[in-house]
């Protein structure tokens, strides 16, 4: 949103103008979108597994488990990377932004894993 009052003090105090904060937000959103795309593709792939012999190669229980747990793994890896980046930065707003991005990705990973458990093969 544009600041029409030309009050730059407000922007400096919030830290949103800091490049580290923007990078943390962009990374968190990018990893979340990548996991969402993977989840969508995995859901479509698992939906085509009807049990016929022609689809046995791509629909084995090991492939279905990998597709089911792929999105939580992407989110977990992104959360670990964001937390590590936050500990490396150690500079005010940007370090906090990286840690918030990491904790958000961890929370999304747990929620995605819990919601994906019923679609694991053998359940």
Domain boundaries of the chain, sorted by first residue? 18-119
Q: Which of 27, 34, 32 is nearest to 97 (CA)?
A: 27
Indicate if the pLDDT at residue 68 is higher than 70.
yes
Q: What is the rounded distance in angstroms from the CA atom of residue 108 to the CA atom of residue 41?
A: 18
Residues above pLDDT 70, as percent of the chain: 76
Q: pLDDT tens across 12-30, in order?
A: 555 556 778 889 999 999 9
pLDDT reported for residue 29 = 95
Provide DSSP, 66-77.
HHHHHHHHHHHH
From CA 48, how far away is CA 64, in angstroms rounded?
Answer: 11
């Amino acid at each position: 949103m544009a600041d029409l009052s030309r009050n730059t003090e407000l922007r400096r105090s919030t830290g949103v103008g800091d490049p580290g904060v923007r990078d943390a937000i962009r990374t968190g959103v990018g990893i979340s979108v990548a996991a969402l795309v993977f989840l969508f593709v995995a859901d479509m792939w698992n939906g085509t597994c009807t049990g016929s012999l022609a689809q046995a190669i791509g629909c084995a229980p090991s492939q279905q488990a990998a597709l089911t747990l792929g999105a939580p793994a992407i989110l977990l890896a992104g959360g670990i990377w964001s937390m590590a980046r936050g500990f490396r930065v150690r500079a005010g707003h940007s370090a906090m932004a990286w840690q918030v991005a990491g904790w958000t990705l961890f929370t999304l990973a747990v929620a995605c894993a819990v919601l994906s458990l019923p679609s694991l093969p053998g359940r």
